[in-house]
Amino acid sequence: TSFGYKEVSEEEKSKLVGNVFNSVASSYDLMNDLMSGGLHRLWKDRLVSKLHPFPGMKHLDVAGGTGDVAFRILDKIKSLRHSARQGGLDNFNEETKIYICDINPNMLNFGKKRAIEQGLCEEQSLVWVEGDAEALKFQADSMDGYTIAFGIRNVTHIENVLSEAHRVLKRGGRFLCLELSHVEQPLFKQIYDYYSFKVIPAIGELVAGDKESYQYLVESIRRFPNQDTLARMIADTGFQKVEYENLVGGVVAIHSAVKW
Ligand code: SAM
């Protein structure tokens, strides 16, 4: 296929991906922490700091079922509002809306549950929407920001996700994608390969009782386009100012771009 992205059959893919998210929805946080050594929290913080959220913004977080990214955006906006109020500057009339879109209703329910646990059940800014990243239900030119964290790797057609992101963003709107990516440095790559092919499936088996799905996750990282290829795909979609930042030597990368 295009961009050298080898595809698993669509049926197989959604089965495996579905398995992972159904079987571990409850142990999801634990798995993320175990597999990343807690680093996914810092990576998500970095993603949100690159977004530069602002009060009144309309934001779409795709594949966001856990709420992890959305809660961080909301936190940041609340603290901006708080400081503005202290400075006597609370003249933000526009209502903030953070749409959390996910294809899996279980993940959305999981996120909603966490929102309640965090005391956000009355929160009007959060809107939970079931939907496919490849065919968004949102209007064109309607969003100030778009994020997708650990979501683009498992979709069927990355190109569709990118063109939908481009469509829903307003001019000047920011696109940000956080994803497991490719390590280049040879020695670090050896260690990382060992970790991902041996340790991750073992943790998967131990904690979630599901070695195969985690093996699949690791293979899907290898098949995913590398940093430069993904950057080119984003630029080919029509985005401007396409950049990426590697974290932990490329274990993850944050791609960013602007719709102009
Ligand atoms: N963004 C969250 C985070 O970082 O914690 C969740 C990441 S989780 C690894 C991937 C999510 O992508 C799952 O919730 C899954 O349901 C969702 N997903 C998979 N394919 C999707 C699609 N085509 N459209 C929207 N969401 C999708």
* Digit-coded pLDDT (tens) for 166-201: 999 999 999 999 999 999 999 999 999 999 999 999
pLDDT of residue 209: 85
CB of 151 shorter than 6 A to ligand 1: yes
Average pLDDT, the chain: 90
Provide the CATH number for the domain around residue 209: 3.40.50.150
Ligand 1 center–CA 67 separation, angstroms: 10
pLDDT of residue 190: 96
Strands 126-130 and 143-149: unpaired
pLDDT of residue 14: 63
pLDDT of residue 18: 59
Count structural domains, the chain.
1
CA separation for the pair 1, 17 (Å, rounded): 20
CB of 213 shorter than 6 A to ligand 1: no
List the Cα angle 23/62/224 in 5-degree steps.
75
pLDDT above 80: residue 17: no
Specify the DSSP class assigned to residue 135: B
pTM of this prediction?
0.89
pLDDT of residue 1: 34
pLDDT above 60: residue 2: no
Closest to 175 measured CA to CA, from 151, 131, 143, 137: 143
For the CA of 106, the closest atom of ligand 1 is 16
Q: What is the mean pLDDT of residues 61-68?
A: 95
- Give, for ligand 1, the residue of 68, 110, 154, 254 to mutate: max count of ligand atoms closer than 8 Å to Cβ: 154
**64, 101 in Cβ contact below 8 A?**
yes
CA separation for the pair 217, 167 (Å, rounded): 29
Tell me: ipTM over 0.95. Answer: yes
* Ordered strands of the 240-247 beta sheet: 126-130, 97-102, 58-62, 143-149, 169-180, 252-258, 240-247
> 183 is in which domain, residue-wise?
2-258
**53, 147 in Cβ contact below 8 A?**
no
pLDDT of residue 121: 75
147 is in an annotated binding site: no
Ligand 1 center–CA 65 separation, angstroms: 6
Ligand 1 center–CA 50 separation, angstroms: 20
Q: What is the mean pLDDT of residues 27-41?
A: 87
Beta bridge partners of 164: none
**72, 48 in Cβ contact below 8 A?**
yes
CA separation for the pair 74, 208 (Å, rounded): 30
Residue closest by Cα to atom 10 of ligand 1: 151
237 is in an annotated binding site: no
Ligand 1 center–CA 73 separation, angstroms: 17
75 is in an annotated binding site: no
pLDDT above 50: residue 3: no
- Phi/psi-derived region of residue 149, left when phi > 0, alpha when psi is between -120 and 50, beta in every other case: beta
